[in-house]
Amino acid sequence: MAKNPMNNLSYGLFVLTAAEGEKHNGCIINTVTQVTTEPNQITIAVNKANYTNEMIRRTGKFTVSVLSEEADFDLFKHFGFQSGRNVDKFADFTDARPVENGTMCITRGTNAYISAKVVQEIDLSTHTLFLAEVTASEVLADVPSATYAYYHAHIKPAPAPKKPEGKAVWVCQICGYVYEGDPIPADFICPLCKHPASDFERQVQPAKEEKAVWVCNICGYVYEGDPIPADFICPLCKHPASDFSRKVE
C-alpha cells in the first residue's frame, strides 16, 4: 500500500517548448490538463527554475509535445537533465519541426502536439500555472501516451545494483589485533596488549565478491564458471552436468 496518497495520482509526460527571437528551448513537464472545450483551453504547470518558464512569461506562447511509450531515455535526458540557460538544446537536435506559433514540436517519441497562447498566469510559489487557449494541434502517431508510471517501469533505466558494502572491524592501534563487530564495546580490552577500546580504530574491509562454481556430487571436481553448460561432462568421473551442484564461494 502506498504510504503517500499523492503517489496514486496519474500524470502524463510532455516536452514543453518555447521560442524567443532565434532562441528555442524545451523542458520536460508532467502536468498538462484540458480545462474547457469552448473555448478550447489547457493549463500547464512549470517550475519557475526552468528557463522555459521565463520564455513563456515573456512571449505568451508555447507548444506541448505529448510523449509516447516509444520515447527513449535519451529524449528525457536531452530535455530534462540540462538547462537551456547553458546549452542550445536544438543546436544538433533534428527530431523536431517548427509549428504555427513559431515554437518547435518534437517528432520522435511523441504522438501529438498542442500549441497555445497564454491568457492567464497564476503564481503557485515554486511553479507558474499557465491558462492558455489552444491555437493548433495535430496527432503525430497512433501510439499510447507515456504515463509517469510507465516511464519509471519501462523507460527509466533500473539503478545499478549496489556493490556489497565492506565489513566494519576495529583494529588496535597498539598491537594490530582485529575486533570483528561494530560498534566495539566501550569497555572492551584488547586481549593481546590490554589497551582499551579508545585505542582501536574503525576500518571497513573491502567486500569480497561472490564467486559461483559447480561441484561434481560424485567425485568433487570443481567447474569454475556460471552457469555450467548443459552438455558438460565431468573430466574425472564422466558424469553429466545434472550431477553437479552450484556453490557460492
40-44, 150-154, 177-181: least confidently modelled range: 177-181
Cα–Cα distance, 100 to 118 (Å, whole number): 15
Q: ∠ at Cα 146 (118, 105), nearest 5°?
A: 45
191 lies in some domain: yes
99 lies in some domain: yes
| pLDDT 10s digits, 1-44 | 557 888 888 899 999 999 999 999 999 999 999 999 999 999 99
Mean pLDDT is highest, among 5-19, 50-64, 170-184, for 50-64
Q: Which domain CATH number covers 185?
A: 2.20.28.10
14 lies in some domain: yes
125 lies in some domain: yes
**How many residues appear in the chain?**
249
Q: Which three cell numbers stand for residue 34?
A: 484540458
Q: Which three cell numbers stand for residue 111?
A: 504522438
161 lies in some domain: no
Do 36 and 140 fall into the same domain?
yes
What is the pTM (predicted TM-score) of this model? 0.67
Is the pLDDT at 132 greater than 70? The verdict is: yes
Do 138 and 195 fall into the same domain?
no
Q: Which domain CATH number covers 26?
A: 2.30.110.10
Do 112 and 30 fall into the same domain?
yes
162 lies in some domain: no
Burial of 90 (C-beta count, 10 Å sphere; 0-12/13-18/19+): middle
pLDDT at 201: 92
Instruction: Give the range of the structural domain holding residue 171, as residue numbers without chain letter.
Output: 167-205
Do 46 and 91 fall into the same domain?
yes
Cα–Cα distance, 44 to 40 (Å, whole number): 14
2 lies in some domain: no
Do 34 and 70 fall into the same domain?
yes
Burial of 164 (C-beta count, 10 Å sphere; 0-12/13-18/19+): exposed
Q: How confident is the model at residue 249 (pLDDT cuts 50, 70, 90)?
A: low
pLDDT at 178: 87
Per 3-state DSSP, the chain is made up of helix, strand and coil in percentages (nearest 5) of 15, 40, 45
Do 181 and 230 fall into the same domain?
no
1 lies in some domain: no
Do 200 and 217 fall into the same domain?
no
Which whole-number Å values give the CA distances from 163 to 22, 160, 170, in the listed order?
47, 9, 22
Do 185 and 232 fall into the same domain?
no
Beta strands in the chain (DSSP E): 14-20, 23-29, 32-37, 40-47, 61-67, 96-98, 104-106, 110-124, 127-139, 167-172, 178-180, 200-205, 212-216, 222-224, 244-248
Question: What integer best gives the mean pLDDT of the chain?
Answer: 92
Do 99 and 70 fall into the same domain?
yes
| pLDDT 10s digits, 89-127 | 999 999 999 999 999 999 999 999 999 999 999 999 999
- Residue 6 in contact with residue 143, Cβ under 8 Å? no
Do 216 and 146 fall into the same domain?
no
Structural domain count of the chain: 3
Do 94 and 53 fall into the same domain?
yes
Beta strands in 156-210 (DSSP E): 167-172, 178-180, 200-205
Residues 6+ apart with CB under 8 A from 150: 69
73 or 238, which is more confident: 73
